[in-house]
Each structure stands twice: as C-alpha cells, then as structure tokens.
Amino acid sequence: MVELFETVEGEGTQAGYPTTFVRVFNCNLRCTWCDTPYSYAPAKPEFFATIAEIVAEVKRYGHPRICLTGGEPLIYGEKSLLLIEALAQLEEVVDIHIETNGAIHLAPFHAWREANPEWGQKVRFVLDYKLPASGEQDKMIEENFTFLRDTDEVKFVIADDTDFDVAVEVVRRRMERGVPLFSPVWESMPPARLVERMLAERLTQVKLNLQLHKVIWDPNARGV
C-alpha cells in the first residue's frame, strides 16, 4: 500500500465529492508525465495491509464514494478483485471508481461486475488511455473499450497537439460507451489551449478534466 486518506475527488464525473482514496503500490507502466512516482519501484511500499484492514479504515472514514487508485490498482489480479468485492459489499458505499491504466485486461473485472449486479453496479472503471507523449501507448489493450458501460470514464492525458489528435481519433473510432475526459499536462498543454482545440473540433460530448487537488493544494502534496 501507498496511502489511504480522505479528501475531495479531484477529477472526472465525481469531482468535488468527499471521497476515500485507496492507493495501492506498484505499476506496470512508466509514463513520462506520471505524478505519482512514489507509487512504484524503485520506491518502496509505505505499509502492508490485509483486505480486512483496508475495509476497516474505509469504514472509519464513512464516505459513500471510494477511489481505488495506484500505481495500478488492478495489477494484483484476483487479490485486486477480492478487495473490490469487499469494498462493494459495504452498505454505505454507492460508488467505487477504479483508476486503471489501460494496460490491464478488464475482462475478469467486467465478468465479476456482470455476475454480481447488486455490487457491480457500484463499480466503475476510469480507463486512463495512454497517448504518444506518455511513451506507453503501445501497451494499451484496445479490447478494454468493449467492457465499458455508460457510467464508466475514459481519461486522456494530453501533453501536446499530437496527443490531442490521437485522443480525438480514439474517441471517434473506439468509444461507444463511457464519458471521455480530456486532461491537460499543464506544462506543455495549457488548459486554455486544450479548450480552444476542443471547441474547434466540436467535441460536445467530451468533458474537460482539470485536477482540482492541484488547484487547492500544492501540486506535489500527497495525501490530499
């Protein structure tokens, strides 16, 4: 584990809601613009916890929304699924959004969601589709788009105009379900520039996705 804390959700369709964040350790990608390098090697886990211990801490915070993130929260396969199931069984929880990096196959997690509708309806994927500037686009599993629901989200972190053009192509070619989110890398794609391009392309169903936590707190602050 890396950290477990309460804050407001900074991104996506749930932005602004008080949320419990569960950040697990390790990732199978190394994106050039990653803002959580402390969540994978050569960094070390901050602590170890059983599923029961994680659930107990989530219950202590008591928020109905949970963000399961990383690193890559689905990297542990069956163990990741057991954690999701345990969290989904909490009566007070209404939304568990899983920030997954697009390089983990969603098939088994989709199958569980379909087989367990009472709990599965609480669980949403936030698929972070990697674009050229990330250095990891070749790792993307295109089939993952087939497992999305309308309530899921697809996040595109856009560092430059090439990234933007690729993101638009993917949205138009691959996305049949889910909410597309365009997130600027502020250092190289100013938000105003991104909005300008979104309007020019008439992307009426794409949502601009700014990271609220980096506006409220220091961009390098942890546990917020």
* Residue partners of 140: CB distance under 8 A and separation at least 6: 102, 103, 129, 130
- Alpha helix positions (H), 121-190: 161-174
CA distance 221 to 32: 19
Instruction: Say what the pLDDT of residue 215 is.
Output: 80
Q: How far apart are CA 204 and CA 211, in angstroms?
A: 20
Predicted local confidence at residue 20, as pLDDT: 98
Tokens of 153: 């989200």
Where the chain has pLDDT below 50, the residues are none
Please, what is the Cα angle at 122 between 182 and 22, to 5 degrees? 70
pLDDT value at residue 220: 67
Cα distances from 176 to residues 14, 23, 112, 166, in angstroms, run 21, 29, 21, 16
Contact at 8 Å (CB) between 171 and 206? yes
**Residue closest to 161 by CA, chosen among 110, 197, 111:** 197
SS3 193: helix
3-state helix, strand, coil in the chain (%, to 5): 35, 20, 45
Q: What is the pLDDT of residue 217?
A: 75
Identify the CA nearest to 96 among candidates 105, 108, 109. Answer: 109
pLDDT at 216: 82
Give the CA angle between residues 129, 17, 189 to the nearest 5°. Answer: 40
Residues 214, 33: contact at Cβ < 8 Å? Answer: no
Pairwise CA distance, residues 216 & 212, whole Å: 6
CA distance 201 to 185: 19
pLDDT in tens, 102-154: 999 999 999 999 999 999 999 999 999 999 999 999 999 999 999 999 999 99
